[in-house]
Amino acid sequence: MNIENIEAFVYINHYGSFNKAADTLFLSQPTVTARIQSLERELDCRLFDRQGKQIHLTDKGKQFLPYAQQILHTYQKGKHQIHSKSAMPNVLRIGSTVSISNYVLPHLLMFLDERFPNIHFKVITATSEELISKLTSKDIDLAFVKKLLNPAFQSYPFYEDPIRLYVHEGHPLASKGRASIHELRNEKLVFFECGSLDWLRIHRVFENLEQSPDIVYQVDNSETAKKLVLGKAGICFLPGLSVRQEVQEGRLFPVDIEETAGIALQTNLIALNSEHSPFIKALLERGELPLKHRVFI
């Protein structure tokens, strides 16, 4: 079956006219008519009823229309893929820090799959330093890393995640929702530290206290820290992404500490060059993720 005949059929139905379809396809009206006649011979049925200047699909034409539209759509999609193959990779390799990989990336991957259905995705989770190295050596295409100022990369602010104190259900501070840093001196603390400059600001706040806090647990994984708080082993400063679900379920409670207000983890989306700009643009335009603190350029 000739794809050009199907194309003529779909266009005539869309424009309601042989002449308008011919103009759109840059063909003569007799050529378009000949294509429909050829298609009708192949299908052994009439596709259009002509009543003066009006044309209407026959019952057989109505039955065939959705299949013709699908055939034409698939053909055009395949044609586009062939011509855009040099610009679009078969696999997009995305590097990500642990927090973004755990709590944000699943939504982003599903979104990207809808936007770019012919692309496969590979995720590499590592530290920001490791991801920067992998991007430099072109082992990955894009990366979500801690805030970065480096002229060697294209860098886009992507997400700002406030660090707040979280306490378990039944803790005296849970109902207050606010406290001073001095009120924590007798508390058992779980200290999650991911090595960024933002965590150093938390350290400096504690250094100003006359009595050092009782840091019972020091961990480098937010899930470990969170489970210790849920188990009532202590309280902890954590990034909001890691505890969203538990806060919604009423199992963890945020407490605002004036001295640590404004401290947040900054995540940037980085790339070596503009080679993957369609993906970057799509990610930055994504506006319906279940996130509260998006930062866009």
Q: Are residues 182 and 238 in the same domain?
A: yes
Q: How far apart are CA 262 and CA 5, in angstroms?
A: 64
Q: Are residues 104 and 151 in the same domain?
A: yes
CATH number of 150's domain: 3.40.190.10
Q: Residue-wise pLDDT tens for the chain (297 aa)?
A: 689 999 999 999 988 899 888 988 888 999 999 999 999 999 999 999 988 778 999 999 999 999 999 998 888 777 766 655 555 678 999 999 988 998 889 989 999 999 898 899 999 999 888 999 999 999 999 999 987 767 778 888 888 888 899 999 999 999 999 988 888 888 898 988 765 555 667 777 777 677 667 788 888 888 999 999 999 999 999 989 899 999 999 999 999 988 888 888 888 999 988 788 889 988 988 743 434 444 333
The distance of Cα 176 from the centroid of its chain, to the nearest Å, equals 35
pLDDT tens, residue by residue, 203-246? 777 776 776 677 888 888 889 999 999 999 999 999 898 999 99
Q: Are residues 166 and 154 in the same domain?
A: no
- Counted domains in the chain: 3
Q: How far apart are CA 224 and CA 118, in angstroms?
A: 37
Choose one of 67, 83, 99: the last residue of a domain.
83
Host H or E run for residue 266: strand 264-271
* Three-state SS at 235: strand
Residue 7, domain extent: 3-83
* 260 phi, psi to nearest 5 deg: -110, 10
Q: How far apart are CA 166 and CA 189, in angstroms?
A: 10
